Structure 1
Amino acid sequence: MLYLLKMQNLKPTLTLFLLFFNLTFYAQQVTVLDADTGIPIDNVAIFNKDQSSSTITDSNGKGDLSLFSEDERITFKHISFDVYTTTKTMINRRGNRVYLHLSTEELQEVVMSVSKWQQQRKHIPQKIETLDDKSIAFTNPQTSADLLQNSGTVFVQKSQLGGGSPMIRGFATNRILLSVDGVRMNNAIFRGGNLQNVISVDPFAIKKTEITFGPGSVIYGSDAIGGVMNFYTQQPHLSFTDSLAFSGNVNYRFATANSENTAHVDFNFGQKKWASYTSFTYNNFGDLRMGEHGPDSYLRNNYVIRENDQDVLVANDNPKKQVTTGYDQINFLQKFTYKPNNIWKYDLGLYYSETSDYSRYDRLIRPSRDGDGLRSAEWYYGPQKWFMGNFQVTKKGKNMFYDGVKLTTAYQFFEESRHDRGFGDVELYSTQEKVDAFSVNLDFDNKKIGNLNLFYGAEYVFNKVHSNGSVRDIETDEVAETASRYPDGATWQTLAGYVNGEYQLKPNFTLLSGIRYSQVWVDAVFDTTFYPFPFDEADIITGALTGSLGFSWFPWSDFQVTLNGSTGFRAPNIDDIGKIFDSEPGSVVVPNTDLEPEYAYNGELGLRKNFNDFLTLKGAAFYTYLVDALVRRDFAFNGETEIEYNGELSNVQAIQNAARAYVYGFEFGMEAYFDEHWSLTSNLTITEGTEEDDDGVDSPSRHAAPTFGDVHLIWQNQKLKTDVFLNYNGEVSNEDLSLSEQGKTYMYAEDANGNPYSPSWYTLNFRSQYQITNALKASVSLENMTNQRYRMYSSGIVAPGTNLILGVGYVF
């Protein structure tokens, strides 16, 4: 009894002790948050004046303050945020939380796309546009093609809803390069026609996107003529404590214009030496609805159905509904990181993306030859599949030849197919392509030679193409073999070495120069069963030497001048050499084994002025000259200018080194920060391009985008961010349309003379995001508020009408 009484007397003391212990313990911890979004910030360095004591925040933004005394000055530093200094006493008074603001001086930003190693952006003479995960989450794009378009600096063409072909400085498709976590996505069948491979990259899984404008062949080799789009996906986060760290996100989005339903989940497990990151996204898109106000020729007035074993043309109950454009998509990403010490790091990434079948909308709206109906009953792509396994080993440490070395090995698998059937026909023609792509990159970083920083390395890429063709009678279900799109078993491979140097001549003057040599081999054996080719195989060996030289100069601390000259190249691939397909109504492209690389010579001048961190103006002028351009032109096949293809007599064409191209333009940007809440940003791009045939005939360049730009008025505080913005495109008159586009009258509006042209357009839009709690956020956007009916230049599909987008996300 006495013992129990003593324990009762101890309870208040014990409670007070535990309360004091908890208060003391939590007073030693700080949570660092983004002042704009309230999201915890990891990897924030916390240190005192002489840096005798330091720590770093974990994946939850938490850091240990027990190392510091109560009144000593403590600094919080992160590469993307303004430096903040305070004391532990002040931190305790503010609830043990510190809020950091994003840095307004982005010239200090670190980029990786120019050398594959971290470099300060202010030292780079090329224009680079960066999009981080916070800006991506705010714009909330449906696909990575939309992500690029939302940047305001990249023009995106769409032939169907399941697509998006970026255009940069007058170049597109196989003349710009896609890279995911340092691995090139471009393969041996990337074509000159519009591509949709960029949608295989999940926007939810992207940590950062860097868009490099102008040739990038020194680092990336063939195809990087117009620019390079580097997608860096999320990395697993290690734990900074002895316990297992777990975090994740759940997101849902709905959009009215195409009845989108998207669900996403990701989660991270981390310990001190290893971590795992998993991401999964499911998209369901319905048929896209166009706007109310615009050309009537854009309406989908009728479409084809199969009824009683007959193709029937039926009226569309809602002509603004683009039947059939909907599709589904899944994206999966799994990453593992193992870091046994500060020297070695091992990363494994597994990526998978797959779509459902989806219609090529621009082929479904082609009129029949008599103009009374539609030419195709069916025209759709089979599932687009992409898998990549990427294993990377990174070593840091002083060495005679390097301070860092990175070995990247990757295997990719691509699958795509095409299926088309003419109206009233019973034969469904199909081709299926698969590509196995292997690559090895060895990259070195050497910082030992005074103010010279060398980046050098080697690359080997091997592609093998599998292709087959078939025709199926839809009534009898009989299947027969037909000509494949590409020579089955064809290979494309390249071996290259490069060296790139950054030399800081003065604190305000940096030179960047590089050189690369690439050797490319193409081997293809042609099947003469269906077409009597005048050759049995293609065995082509080509080499290319490319280089760059530029500087970044700060005559004053707030004024930057950049000048850069560079060359780029594109070696012929299997698509150029061995393709058989109907390029446009009444034309067929046939193989041509007599091809050489095309070369680009580029010059770029950039200016940037910062007015007291209130206003930043930036501009760039560029000029590119393309020689031996690989273009599609009329051709004689075995002396014949017309052959029968899929039952139709067609004009013969082939890819040839038959043109030169001149592309030039201007890019402008502006950022104004009125106060801590209000800001204004704007972009404008003007591009002009001309192709000149060997016979001296000029034609406007197909991939020179119209003048386009945007203006954003942004208001934000700690919890709410809003953006009212205008997107606009200039007109492309009939005389400025390329010859290939002038023949696609079904895609364009009619001018006063009855000729096809692409009208100018604008949209007024609203976007917002609200941080309800530290864990829960919601977004509301209203795009195309005036319900404009417009079509992006060269696009088959009409853009969305008024579109309400609702999203919600939860962090756990």
Structure 2
Amino acid sequence: MRSIVGCFVIFILASFSVFAQEITVLDAETGNPVVNIAVYNKEQTKTAISDFNGKCDISVFSRNERITFKHISYEIFTTTKAQIARRGNRIYLNLRPAELQEVVMSVSKWEQQKSDIPQKIESIDARSISFTNPQTSADLLQNSGKVFVQKSQLGGGSPMIRGFATNRLLLSVDGVRMNNAIFRGGNVQNVISIDPFTVKNTEIIFGPGSVIYGSDAIGGVMNFFTHKPRFSFTDSLTVSGNASYRFASANNENTAHFDVNFGQRKWAAYSSFSYNNFDDLVMGRHGPVEYLRNTFVERRDGIDVLVENDDPRRQVPSGYDQVNFLQKFTYKPNTTWNYDLGLYYSETSDYSRYDRLIRPNSDGTGLRAAEWFYGPQKWFMGNFQITKKGKNKFYDGVKLTTAYQHFEESRNERRFQDPTRFTTVENVDALSVNLDFENKKIGDLRLYYGAEYLFNKVNSEGSQTNIETNAVTPSASRYPDGSTWQTFAGYINGEYKLKPNFTLLSGLRYSQVWVDAQFDDTFFQFPFEEADLITGALTGSIGFSWFPRADLQVTMNGSTGFRAPNIDDIGKVFDSEPGSVVVPNPDLEPEYAYNIELGLRKNFNDKLVVKGATYYTYLVDALVRRDFSFGGLREIEFNGELSNVQAIQNAAKAYVYGFEFGMDAFFTENWSLSSNLTLTEGIEEDDSGIDSAARHVAPTFADVHLIWQNQKVRADFFLNYNGEIAFEDLALSERNKPFIYATDDNGNPYSPSWYTLNFRSQYQITNALRSTLSLENITDQRYRTYSSGIVAPGTNLILGLGYSF
């Protein structure tokens, strides 16, 4: 009897052992089986291949032998049989992005082949983000080499694209517009509210995107897509996640991140938390002495004192903290319906506006401000989306996206040896509803159409505090309290494949905008009681993507964009620069942009890929800050100072044109080279016919990357370069800020050229554990990117460690 039982046990164990040799290879995103995956050991003496169901017999391999999984469409993956067993005998592979076959969503809000799009679009995927390991999402954009980023302070980052910035660019997170009614023409830092650890990919549209995104999308659109919860492809609950840590020496950064995913077949949840701690930023050793922070203000024994900085390269104060939280739920009862809920939260500590703290006083003997800091920047978004796919008379897909956002920001300033601190606090509540349809059944015509409604309400308060007595009294608010901005729009976009190698894309959108603001004359005797603006805008685009040969792509696109005046344009009261104050102007109209661009892409035998684009944009009725009469007065008192009066006006037109070049060379399987070059020129002409350089036209910038990689290691030695902007090419508004610029031989401010040499690497220690090591600005250059207040980091050692489970 015992021998029979023993034989039975041996049989069962042997059967289990044989069964355990069969594994399943699945697509990490869809859960579908992957066919024809090549499986082999290091010596390639043992091989296997997955079948139609993704099944593969790996019994030929030993338990701890390194096994490689390879497919032309997927990232190479290496593991052991023991590790596969611990993961339930399943392997999940990530798709490898291929430029021409890549799917993008930013142009229509539905999946389209990138090769069919006539506009220039750049995608930054999760693998690239993990490798560059950025501190903020502003750095994520800058690391791409395609976007120029300005920083007024460490807690900042204002992208510039094709000569436009701030409220002429549109930010979108998971398809929801982030721009609100108080996005300003000055530099904004809202992009840092997006946690780079949660970004799955970013798509950047270059040029107007108003047909889909409406107002503000004049220079481009930056669409951030965060990670989606992942379903389980088994009957049991699956749990996975990541933990990361990063350190940077230039500002003693300490960052910790953790995320976890719970998945069943029909529902899944994703949670993410990140904490950043940044100390004061240290600049480089070699560069203009004007950038050094020789003195700063301290309050000692109740008195403001100008003190010597022990380390003039340390930018005191510039550090801050930040927390980010993301919670997502998804429910998919069947293949037709999908329900997604996302909750996003970001909050910073107080952080100094560094460029205001280095501004000298009127006689140049000291500093103008004792304090100038932003209160916590807070952002919350709740986003609920319902997607239905399936055949219908009018659509093949419909998507309803509703979102609520709350923004909070504040400004606090106090002049040197003045006990009064002026504070303004702004809160914006934003509601949005988008209904988007996809129809792909009309022969070779694919239609995208939909409607959008947006509502913003702005609450703004002002106060002044005597820091000696703690007495608080009301003062003028920055914006009209309780003002509203809303818009309703409809659009249609069509993609027509005229021939297999020729695709035509065209679209139209009409937007109606309402602005209502009531002005309180408690602190200022406004010559008007309200701003009641109703305006409309029609925008369109047409372009084509043509492959005259399989290895050559030609694109051309013409488009229009617009920006409707918002609450910041119409109702703001603030000090724009020393001795000037901006006041409300209710008599504004939208500004319009007309753009044309041509793109070329040539592939030389998959060894060299060359890409180029040239464009020209004409902006009319441009909303710009100019001198103004306020109730007949050219000067008024603001925050205790007699100031020149200015206002936002439709008082200019602008011409922006440029060239963008990219190259990718593949020498061997391990060695490659990539480079980017962007040249932009821009002229702004006011109503009097006077020309000046456009403010947000970036200098020539370029990068060159020499990359070596294998299955476990990736290393990148690269050079970043920025060209000079001479005094005569500086915008007039920039000439009025000489304290952030170097001084030329004639004593005038200018932005010098600069370069940095850098090294970046990532090592996959195990399938679960990875490390990154970067050394930025190896030669310790002291440089300040154009229009920035804070000086860039000196030599910066960045260490990172990540663990996946």
TM-score with structure 2 length normalisation? Answer: 0.94
CA deviation after TM superposition for structure 1 residue 510, in Å: 0.1
CA deviation after TM superposition for structure 1 residue 673, in Å: 1.1
Letter in 2 for 1:480: T
CA deviation after TM superposition for structure 1 residue 676, in Å: 1.1
Q: Tell me, yes or no, if structure 1 residue 765 matches structure 2 residue 758.
A: yes
Q: Which of the numbers 534, 540, 552 marks the counterpart of 1:541? A: 534
Residue in structure 1 matched with residue 23 of structure 2 by the alignment: 29
CA deviation after TM superposition for structure 1 residue 392, in Å: 0.1
Q: Which of the numbers 710, 715, 720 marks the counterpart of 2:708? A: 715
Residue in structure 1 matched with residue 562 of structure 2 by the alignment: 569
In the alignment, the residues of structure 2 paired with residue 281 and residue 407 of structure 1 have an alpha-carbon distance, to the nearest angstrom, of 29
CA deviation after TM superposition for structure 1 residue 448, in Å: 1.0
CA deviation after TM superposition for structure 1 residue 142, in Å: 0.2
Residue in structure 1 matched with residue 34 of structure 2 by the alignment: 46
Asked if the contact 1:708/1:728 (under 8 Å) is kept, the reply is yes
In the alignment, the residues of structure 2 paired with residue 200 and residue 362 of structure 1 have an alpha-carbon distance, to the nearest angstrom, of 21
Where 2:360 maps in the other structure, the secondary structure is coil
Q: Which of the numbers 152, 155, 167 marks the counterpart of 1:174? A: 167
In the alignment, the residues of structure 2 paired with residue 305 and residue 586 of structure 1 have an alpha-carbon distance, to the nearest angstrom, of 24
In the alignment, the residues of structure 2 paired with residue 425 and residue 247 of structure 1 have an alpha-carbon distance, to the nearest angstrom, of 55
Residue in structure 1 matched with residue 387 of structure 2 by the alignment: 394
Structure 1 residues 153, 189: CA separation in 2 closer, same or farther (over 3 Å shift)? same
CA deviation after TM superposition for structure 1 residue 48, in Å: 7.6
Residue in structure 1 matched with residue 312 of structure 2 by the alignment: 319
CA deviation after TM superposition for structure 1 residue 8, in Å: 5.9
| Structure 1 range deviating more: 22-31 or 371-380 | 22-31
Q: Give the alignment of 1:529-678 within 5 angstroms.
A: 529-678=522-671
Q: Which of the numbers 14, 18, 29 marks the counterpart of 1:20? A: 14
In the alignment, the residues of structure 1 paired with residue 716 and residue 36 of structure 2 have an alpha-carbon distance, to the nearest angstrom, of 38
CA deviation after TM superposition for structure 1 residue 523, in Å: 0.2
Structure 1 residues 615, 694: CA separation in 2 closer, same or farther (over 3 Å shift)? same
In the alignment, the residues of structure 2 paired with residue 740 and residue 218 of structure 1 have an alpha-carbon distance, to the nearest angstrom, of 31
Structure 1 residues 14, 316: CA separation in 2 closer, same or farther (over 3 Å shift)? farther
In the alignment, the residues of structure 1 paired with residue 304 and residue 427 of structure 2 have an alpha-carbon distance, to the nearest angstrom, of 31
CA deviation after TM superposition for structure 1 residue 41, in Å: 7.3
In the alignment, the residues of structure 1 paired with residue 774 and residue 109 of structure 2 have an alpha-carbon distance, to the nearest angstrom, of 36
How many pairs align?
Answer: 777
Asked if the contact 2:26/2:54 (under 8 Å) is kept, the reply is no
Structure 1 residues 48, 618: CA separation in 2 closer, same or farther (over 3 Å shift)? closer
In the alignment, the residues of structure 2 paired with residue 204 and residue 82 of structure 1 have an alpha-carbon distance, to the nearest angstrom, of 20
In the alignment, the residues of structure 2 paired with residue 22 and residue 771 of structure 1 have an alpha-carbon distance, to the nearest angstrom, of 32
In the alignment, the residues of structure 1 paired with residue 415 and residue 792 of structure 2 have an alpha-carbon distance, to the nearest angstrom, of 26
Asked if the contact 2:50/2:56 (under 8 Å) is kept, the reply is no
CA deviation after TM superposition for structure 1 residue 17, in Å: 2.5
CA deviation after TM superposition for structure 1 residue 506, in Å: 0.2
Q: Tell me, yes or no, if structure 1 residue 210 matches structure 2 residue 198.
A: no
Structure 1 residues 579, 721: CA separation in 2 closer, same or farther (over 3 Å shift)? same
In the alignment, the residues of structure 2 paired with residue 719 and residue 609 of structure 1 have an alpha-carbon distance, to the nearest angstrom, of 31
In the alignment, the residues of structure 2 paired with residue 789 and residue 564 of structure 1 have an alpha-carbon distance, to the nearest angstrom, of 40
Structure 1 residues 83, 562: CA separation in 2 closer, same or farther (over 3 Å shift)? farther
In the alignment, the residues of structure 2 paired with residue 604 and residue 629 of structure 1 have an alpha-carbon distance, to the nearest angstrom, of 21
Residue in structure 2 matched with residue 259 of structure 1 by the alignment: 252
In the alignment, the residues of structure 2 paired with residue 19 and residue 750 of structure 1 have an alpha-carbon distance, to the nearest angstrom, of 80
The C-alpha deviation readout for 1:257-308, integer Å capped at 9, x for no partner, is: 0000000000000000000000000000000000000001100001000011
Asked if the contact 1:80/1:109 (under 8 Å) is kept, the reply is no
Residue in structure 2 matched with residue 740 of structure 1 by the alignment: 733
In the alignment, the residues of structure 2 paired with residue 471 and residue 514 of structure 1 have an alpha-carbon distance, to the nearest angstrom, of 50
Asked if the contact 2:556/2:599 (under 8 Å) is kept, the reply is yes
Asked if the contact 1:30/1:65 (under 8 Å) is kept, the reply is no
Where 1:108 maps in the other structure, the secondary structure is coil
In the alignment, the residues of structure 1 paired with residue 261 and residue 480 of structure 2 have an alpha-carbon distance, to the nearest angstrom, of 44
Asked if the contact 2:24/2:33 (under 8 Å) is kept, the reply is no
Asked if the contact 2:284/2:783 (under 8 Å) is kept, the reply is yes
Residue in structure 2 matched with residue 476 of structure 1 by the alignment: 469
Letter in 2 for 1:170: G
Residue in structure 1 matched with residue 2 of structure 2 by the alignment: 7
In the alignment, the residues of structure 1 paired with residue 751 and residue 766 of structure 2 have an alpha-carbon distance, to the nearest angstrom, of 46
Asked if the contact 2:582/2:647 (under 8 Å) is kept, the reply is yes
Where 1:46 maps in the other structure, the secondary structure is coil
Structure 1 residues 771, 15: CA separation in 2 closer, same or farther (over 3 Å shift)? farther
Residue in structure 2 matched with residue 440 of structure 1 by the alignment: 433
Asked if the contact 1:352/1:385 (under 8 Å) is kept, the reply is yes
Q: Tell me, yes or no, if structure 1 residue 451 matches structure 2 residue 444.
A: yes
Asked if the contact 2:25/2:93 (under 8 Å) is kept, the reply is no
Where 1:106 maps in the other structure, the secondary structure is coil
Structure 1 residues 538, 806: CA separation in 2 closer, same or farther (over 3 Å shift)? same
In the alignment, the residues of structure 2 paired with residue 382 and residue 177 of structure 1 have an alpha-carbon distance, to the nearest angstrom, of 24
Where 1:637 maps in the other structure, the secondary structure is coil
Asked if the contact 2:36/2:71 (under 8 Å) is kept, the reply is no
Residue in structure 2 matched with residue 239 of structure 1 by the alignment: 232
Where 2:20 maps in the other structure, the secondary structure is helix
Structure 1 residues 291, 442: CA separation in 2 closer, same or farther (over 3 Å shift)? same
Asked if the contact 1:748/1:758 (under 8 Å) is kept, the reply is yes
In the alignment, the residues of structure 2 paired with residue 80 and residue 745 of structure 1 have an alpha-carbon distance, to the nearest angstrom, of 53
Structure 1 residues 126, 552: CA separation in 2 closer, same or farther (over 3 Å shift)? same
Letter in 2 for 1:745: P
Identity of aligned residues (%): 73
Where 2:74 maps in the other structure, the secondary structure is coil
Residue in structure 1 matched with residue 366 of structure 2 by the alignment: 373
Q: Which of the numbers 703, 716, 724 marks the counterpart of 1:731? A: 724
Residue in structure 2 matched with residue 132 of structure 1 by the alignment: 125
Letter in 2 for 1:561: V
Structure 1 residues 458, 130: CA separation in 2 closer, same or farther (over 3 Å shift)? same
CA deviation after TM superposition for structure 1 residue 309, in Å: 1.0
Structure 1 residues 154, 69: CA separation in 2 closer, same or farther (over 3 Å shift)? closer
Name the Cα RMSD after superposition: 2.3
CA deviation after TM superposition for structure 1 residue 66, in Å: 7.0
Q: Give the alignment of 1:287-302 within 5 angstroms.
A: 287-302=280-295
In the alignment, the residues of structure 1 paired with residue 127 and residue 112 of structure 2 have an alpha-carbon distance, to the nearest angstrom, of 21
Asked if the contact 1:28/1:66 (under 8 Å) is kept, the reply is no
Gaps of 5+ in 1: 1-5, 34-39, 50-61, 85-90
In the alignment, the residues of structure 2 paired with residue 119 and residue 207 of structure 1 have an alpha-carbon distance, to the nearest angstrom, of 18
CA deviation after TM superposition for structure 1 residue 70, in Å: 7.5
Structure 1 residues 48, 423: CA separation in 2 closer, same or farther (over 3 Å shift)? closer
CA deviation after TM superposition for structure 1 residue 27, in Å: 2.3
In the alignment, the residues of structure 2 paired with residue 560 and residue 757 of structure 1 have an alpha-carbon distance, to the nearest angstrom, of 40
In the alignment, the residues of structure 1 paired with residue 341 and residue 297 of structure 2 have an alpha-carbon distance, to the nearest angstrom, of 47
Where 2:728 maps in the other structure, the secondary structure is helix
CA deviation after TM superposition for structure 1 residue 30, in Å: 3.7
The C-alpha deviation readout for 1:785-805, integer Å capped at 9, x for no partner, is: 000000000000000000000
CA deviation after TM superposition for structure 1 residue 47, in Å: 4.2
Where 2:34 maps in the other structure, the secondary structure is strand
In the alignment, the residues of structure 1 paired with residue 411 and residue 597 of structure 2 have an alpha-carbon distance, to the nearest angstrom, of 40
Asked if the contact 1:290/1:789 (under 8 Å) is kept, the reply is yes
The C-alpha deviation readout for 1:710-729, integer Å capped at 9, x for no partner, is: 10011011101100000010
Structure 1 residues 453, 79: CA separation in 2 closer, same or farther (over 3 Å shift)? farther
Q: Tell me, yes or no, if structure 1 residue 277 matches structure 2 residue 270.
A: yes
CA deviation after TM superposition for structure 1 residue 7, in Å: 2.6
Q: Which of the numbers 117, 135, 141 marks the counterpart of 2:110? A: 117
Q: Tell me, yes or no, if structure 1 residue 809 matches structure 2 residue 797.
A: no
The C-alpha deviation readout for 1:488-522, integer Å capped at 9, x for no partner, is: 00000000000000000000000000000000000
The C-alpha deviation readout for 1:215-244, integer Å capped at 9, x for no partner, is: 000000000000000000000001111000
Asked if the contact 2:22/2:57 (under 8 Å) is kept, the reply is no
